[in-house]
Structures are given as structure tokens and as C-alpha cells.
Amino acid sequence: MFINISDSKEATNKGSSSGLVHYLEKENRLDKKNEPEYWFNGRQVNIDPYHVMRTIDNNIAKLGKADAKFFLVNISPSQKEIAFLREQYGDDGVKEQMKGFAVRVMDAYARNFKREGVNSHEDLVWFAKLENYRYYAYNDAEVKQGIKKRGDRKEGEQLHVQVIVSRKDATNMIKLSPMNTSKGKNAEHSKKMGQFDRMAFKQCGETLFDELFEFDRQLKDTMAYANAQKNGSLAERVQMETRNQEDEAIHAGIGLAEDQPDMELAPGIHSYPDTIDQSFDGYISSVHIDIKEDVDDEAIHGRNRHRKKQARTNTR
């Protein structure tokens, strides 16, 4: 499960939402043979794009020209998760389940601010659009290599939900920004300015999906595993891989041999402690996060060695 929050996607969020709404209508323009896919939120399921734009653009009290007026939340289940839902609920049912899941994600979005009066999706102004496909862009490797053309559909399960959510709450009085980096350590600051833990919100999507749909997620498919492999220390990566081996053995129906040793840490390395109705009434109730690429140490040290060698040469 991938949940991403952005304050600027296909259109700037400092002005009208019309550009973004128009962009998210692309499937209705490209695939005119089928019934159009309408917008929805926790109260309605057949909302037209003009109503979306007008409502978002009118909910901007006391916001300046340079202030963000809305944000984009992308809810993208993995191919395994989509296949699981399709197997459980069928081709039509999977779409309704995803819409219901989006409502619960927006409940979590509201609670993450920890602001009085903002407790669920009903306290937000938001509209969501279910999209069936993804398309190759000019910067995709396949397009650059000439294998695919810009605008071609990507293969595999691509079902996802895009949500436009207003910067202001449903009363048009409280400012809510998921780009706020405060995590509540300063109580007075958080009470006045609000807070939002983007990592916690991203994690909630995974946890919520597993609980709602009883999805048996393997450790290797979790956000914790991916984060450990990407940003963890050597000790954390080794510890996570050990747990992954145990998890895979359990799913395979076998146990680790008693004489099979756990992965050992290098000397001096210490380990770290460890179904939804269309009316939405019966729905089950619970960023843009950039992770910097690993630094190429060899490349850096290599350049430094070259500079030192050159310096020594110049002093002769």
C-alpha cells in the first residue's frame, strides 16, 4: 500500500483546483465508450467535476495568494492487494471496496491532525476519483528507450484513488496542512499551528487495509521492511532480514532447522530492540514523503582521493 501526499502535482495548488480536476478527468475523456467515473466522498457517490472545483475553490477563507488551497492524496494499493480484492469481491466489487477504503483513509487523515473538531472525513472538504489505469510519461525509462509511447497504458493492476482535499476544514475556519512537520512534541505549538505525522499516516494505510480486509501481509511487503532496507543501519537490516526468513518459513509451512543459525552481526554492531455498501453508511471504520537516495560513498571518497593526489602533485 502506497499513500502519497503532494501539495503540487499536475497543477499548482496556490490557485484554482480547476487544472487538477481537469487532469483527473482524463480517463473519462479517453474512454468515452464506458459510463463516466464520477467523483465521490463519504456522503455522495455521483458528483460532477464542476461541483468538485466550485466547492474546493470556495473553501478558502483567510488564505493568502501564496497559501496552498488544497492537497492531493494518492491511495495506491499494490498489485497483490488489488488481486486479493478482485478475488474476494469481483471486478465490480473491488471498485466499491476501494471507494470505501478511501473514506476510512480520510478518517485517518483527519485524526492525524489531532485538532479539536477535526475527527473524521465529515470534518473535511474532500472529493475522490477512482482511476483504473496509469499511463507512461515522458520521463519513464520505457518511453526514453522507445519501447513505449507517452500516454500508453501501463501493464498490470493499476487501480488507485486520487483525493483532492481542501486546506480548510468543513467549517472553513481551521487551516489543515499535512505539510506541517510538527509531530506534537511541543504541545502549545501543536495546539495553535496543528501537527501532522506523515510517516504515521502512510503506515496507517497499510495497517487499515490489513485489518479491514483480513489481508495476510508478509513481512517483505511491509513498509517497515522497505524502510529498514532503505534507511536502516546494518544492524536493523540484518535483524529485519532474519525476521523475514522466519516469516517466509511460516508462510511456506516449514520451520527453520534447529541447527540453522540466525544471521550474525559483525563484531561491534549492536542490535536494536524490536464489505462496503454504495451508500457508505455500512463502511467499516481507522505524503508526499521523499526518501533521499543512498549516497555513493565510493564515488565521493574516490573523488576525494583524486583531489588529494592532485594536490600532492601540485606541491612538487
Buried b (16+ CB within 10 A) or exposed e, 290-314: eeeeeeeeeeeeeeeeeeeeeeeee
Task: Give the separation between CA 205 and CA 210, rounded to whole angstroms.
Answer: 9
Residue-level pLDDT at 202: 87
Q: What value does the mean pLDDT of the chain take?
A: 78
Residue-level pLDDT at 32: 67
Residue-level pLDDT at 121: 97
Interval 33-40 mean pLDDT = 87
Roughly what angle, to the nearest 10 degrees, separates helices 223-231 and 198-213?
140
Residue-level pLDDT at 173: 95
Query: Is residue 258 scored above 70 in pLDDT?
Result: no
Residue-level pLDDT at 14: 92
Helix, coil or strand: residue 306: helix
Helix (H) or strand (E) holding 128: strand 126-131
Residue-level pLDDT at 291: 30
Interval 179-208 mean pLDDT = 76
Residue-level pLDDT at 17: 95
pLDDT tier for residue 253 given thresholds of 50, 70 and 90: low
Query: Is residue 306 scored above 80 in pLDDT?
Result: no
Query: Is residue 272 scored above 70 in pLDDT?
Result: no
Helix, coil or strand: residue 135: strand
Query: Is residue 156 scored above 80 in pLDDT?
Result: yes
Residue-level pLDDT at 172: 96
Residue-level pLDDT at 294: 33
Query: Is residue 282 scored above 50 in pLDDT?
Result: no
Residue-level pLDDT at 144: 92
Residue-level pLDDT at 308: 45
Residue-level pLDDT at 183: 60
Residue-level pLDDT at 33: 66
- Cβ neighbourhood burial of 12 (10 Å; 0-12, 13-18, 19+): middle
How many C-beta neighbours within 10 Å does residue 156 have? 9
**DSSP secondary structure letters along 200-269:** HHHHHHHHHHHHHHT----GGGSHHHHHHHHH--HHHHHHHHHHHHHHHHHHTT----TTPPPPPPPTT-
Question: Which comes out higher in pLDDT, residue 242 or 45?
Answer: 45
Chain segment 59-92, per-residue pLDDT in tens = 999 999 989 999 999 999 999 999 999 999 998 8
How many C-beta neighbours within 10 Å does residue 128 have? 26
Q: Residue 157: CB partners within 8 Å, gap ≥ 6?
A: 79, 82, 83, 86
Q: Which of 26-40, 66-80, 251-265 has the lowest mean pLDDT?
A: 251-265
pLDDT tier for residue 30 given thresholds of 50, 70 and 90: confident
115's grid cell: 485538532
Query: Is residue 130 scored above 70 in pLDDT?
Result: yes
Q: Under a CB-based contact definition with an 8 Å cutoff, are residues 45 and 99 in contact?
A: yes
Q: Which pairs from 202-205 meet CB under 8 Å and 24+ separation?
A: 202/3, 202/4, 202/287, 202/289, 204/105, 204/108, 204/112, 204/286, 205/1, 205/2, 205/3, 205/75, 205/105, 205/108
> Which residue ranges form the domains of the chain, and what is each CATH number?
2-216 (3.30.930), 218-274 (no CATH)
Q: Which of 76-80, 233-237, 249-253 has the lowest mean pLDDT?
A: 249-253
Residue-level pLDDT at 304: 44
Query: Is residue 103 scored above 80 in pLDDT?
Result: yes
Question: Which comes out higher in pLDDT, residue 249 or 22?
Answer: 22
55's grid cell: 466547492
